[in-house]
A and B are shown apart, each in its own frame.
Chain A
Amino acid sequence: MRTATEIGYNTKVEGDVIVTRVDAALNWCRKNSLWPMPMGLACCAIELMAAGASRYDISRFGAEVMRFSPRQADVMIVSGTVTYKMATAVKRIYDQMAEPKYVIAMGACASTGGMYRSYAVLQGVDHVLPVDVYVAGCPPRPEALLDALIKLQNKLAREPVLSTLKKVAA
């Protein structure tokens, strides 16, 4: 079920009061305060750090609070090559995050295994996690990651209040 209610108000008519639906207000709060859990595994983590630094400010989107504890984070940004050895750890950390949780697969390695079609690299983190946004690039520029964040925010804005539990693509 998608909702399309935006928060909007006309200052001349309504003054300081916003009248909206609960889910629109909740989603606005959620999307503008997405705290990432940086699963920084390889080179994409450097671009993630660059996105968090001052030039490509991720703080503009409310996401500068990089919580390394899954209990305190909303979105896991898997940045880097996920090896088979690390895959179970990534899944375990994802399981520890509290609902509602989202995943951004950043870079070629996290999306599809990247240039590593080998015995040791998981061919895409979507084998173990449900991914919401994929970012192409090796590594993607910080602006590409911010674009992915904006897409995730738009996806969030359309969620109904009682979100359904996610299932892993088997």
Chain B
Amino acid sequence: MAMTPQKLAELLQSRFGDLVSAPTEFRGEVTVRIADAERMPEVGAYAKKLGCDFLLDITSVDNYGEDPRWTIVYELYGLDHRCHLRLKVDVSEEKSELPTVSTVWRTANWHEREIYDLMGLRFRGHPDLRRIIMWDGYPHHPLRKDFPLGGKPTDVPEVAFTKAAPLEGGPFVTAPGGKDSVEREPRAKEFGG
């Protein structure tokens, strides 16, 4: 009997009850929300036992202005049953911390380092939580929504310096779906707008 993502989600729900939400589907992709980030390694271990042995990606979303501010998204895949599953967890800004899943999937090591580097979320129990893209000593977390695209001036002597890039009025973004190219012409997009 073949495994489908819906069935995977239902098996997770039957094991964890209220912790796992009802699955939502969009274009064949099934997403499940996990209510409590602290139990994420437990859910991950069970998902791995169900055959999701391949963690494709961990990414994070900055819901700037909303509470909880952070949403962490886990993309799971099973090499045997070939089903994708997405797990979403919310973390509030005051906490900004959640347990690592690198004990379940070793690849989570670098994904979580990237999230720590660019968003500032800490992972408890991570074997080596340090910056992976920016350099050690860089003071900011660049992919947060309140960080400007051009960057801020910093200086770590002997390692690297940064300057604010001249943006000339902001990132120029196209308006997709405009009926002709004049409407779609990239215009300065106000930050925060």
Contact = CB atoms under 8 A, between A and B. Distances in A.
Interface of A: 84-85, 87-88, 113, 117-121, 123, 127
Closest 5 A/B residue pairs (Cβ): A119-B151, A117-B165, A84-B162, A84-B160, A119-B142
B118 to A, nearest CB: 10
Contacts of A87: 160-161
A84 B138 CA distance: 11
A152 B150 CA distance: 33
Interface string B142-179: 10000111111000001111110111000100000000
B152 A119 contact: yes
B165 A121 contact: yes
Given A84-B160, A88-B158, A120 B166 contact: no
B191 interface: no
B160 A85 contact: yes
Interface in B51-90: none
Contacts of A85: 134-135, 160
B159 A120 contact: no
A84 B165 CA distance: 11
A119 B162 contact: yes
Contacts of A127: 163
A119 B162 CA distance: 7
> At the interface, is chain B mostly helix, strand, loop or mixed?
loop
Contacts of B134: 85, 120
A53 to B, nearest CB: 33
Given A87-B160, A118-B150, A118-B165, 12 more contacts: A84-B161, A84-B162, A88-B159, A113-B165, A117-B149, A117-B165, A117-B166, A119-B142, A119-B147, A119-B162, A120-B142, A120-B151
Nearest to B167: A117
Q: Which of A87, A118, A119 has the most CB of B within 10 A?
A: A119
A118 B148 CA distance: 9
Contacts of A113: 165
A119 B133 CA distance: 12
A123 B166 contact: yes
Nearest to A113: B165
A118 B162 CA distance: 10
A141 B151 CA distance: 31
A121 B151 CA distance: 9
14 contacts: A84-B160, A84-B161, A84-B162, A85-B135, A88-B158, A117-B149, A117-B150, A117-B171, A119-B142, A119-B151, A119-B162, A119-B165, A123-B163, A123-B165
Nearest to A128: B161
A127 B160 CA distance: 13
A106 B142 CA distance: 28
A59 B51 CA distance: 57
Contacts of A119: 140, 142, 147-152, 162, 165
Contacts of B135: 85
A84 B156 CA distance: 11
Nearest to A117: B165
Contacts of B165: 113, 117-119, 121, 123
Nearest to A123: B165
A109 to B, nearest CB: 12
A110 to B, nearest CB: 15
Q: Which of B133, B152, B160 has the most CB of A within 10 A?
A: B160
A111 to B, nearest CB: 14
